[in-house]
Structure 1
């Protein structure tokens, strides 16, 4: 089955698996999804991720039985791309969340994009 927006599909799968209190989930693999999973692991939102048989397997993380990902929001969509400069990178939930950007230096979170002094397409926000 073809998915129009694979990043939105990834965020929805993570949200649904968290609500059902699953330990892990799997989804079709792409380089951008693997890069986003790497950022989520580095920021502590998921335990780990791995690539198995052309699928991305994400191990979810909970704290006191509650998911660490409280919310997600897809910003740039296939019908409306949103680009930001380095000075316009948003603070998500007053610094309690992260934003993920697609830049000329790869897919980065907002803090790394500011330190690299690059802007780009604002993909999503996670808190």
Structure 2
């Protein structure tokens, strides 16, 4: 059983990005979809889609699972758009910040993704809305 689905999702993206894969597949969750949406809006990935696929071990059509497929983005000379993607708050140690403590990632070149009472949003939107929350990850 997987404990931290967000860390698994980010690790799959990080590993696929490292070896220049076209896309990365991960188990679907609403949190993963919200993170993928932010990554797309911020220009770190091309796109994402939700897919239903059958389990590989059985032929029963009822055994389907939802996946999220993230299409990675690279520059013209195979330069990575995502230089690093880092999980901050973990199940063993949650990191919460107030509205005045929201971190700037790489002096504003990156983005902090927060889970707030307004949903999962980037750090600059949380500052604008005046809300704090749990820091899920940094991307730059």
Give yes or no for the alignment of 1:19 onto 2:32. no
- More helix per residue: 1
RMSD of aligned residue pairs (Cα, Å): 0.7
Moved more, 19-28 or 40-49: 19-28
SS at match of 1:38: helix
Deviation track 1:65-93 (CA, whole Å, cap 9, x = no partner) reads 02110012111100011100110000001
Deviation track 1:30-54 (CA, whole Å, cap 9, x = no partner) reads 0000000000000000000010111
Moved more, 21-30 or 36-45: 21-30
Give yes or no for the alignment of 1:7 onto 2:35. no
- Superposition map of 1:1-127 within 5 A: 2-53=1-52, 54-63=66-75, 64-127=77-140
The structure number with the bigger radius of gyration is 2
Question: 1:12 Cα deviation (Å)?
Answer: 0.8
Structure 1: stretches of 5+ with no match in the other structure? none
Taking structure 2 as the reference length, the TM-score comes to 0.88
Moved more, 42-51 or 6-15: 6-15
Question: For this pair of structures, how many residues does the alignment match?
Answer: 126
Distance across 2 between alignment mates of 1:4 and 1:94: 32
Distance across 2 between alignment mates of 1:11 and 1:25: 10
Q: Which runs of 4+ in 1 moved over 4 A?
A: none
Distance across 2 between alignment mates of 1:115 and 1:96: 17
SS at match of 2:125: helix
Taking structure 1 as the reference length, the TM-score comes to 0.97
Deviation track 1:59-117 (CA, whole Å, cap 9, x = no partner) reads 00001202110012111100011100110000001111000000000000001111111
Structure 2: stretches of 5+ with no match in the other structure? 53-65
Distance across 1 between alignment mates of 2:25 and 2:88: 23
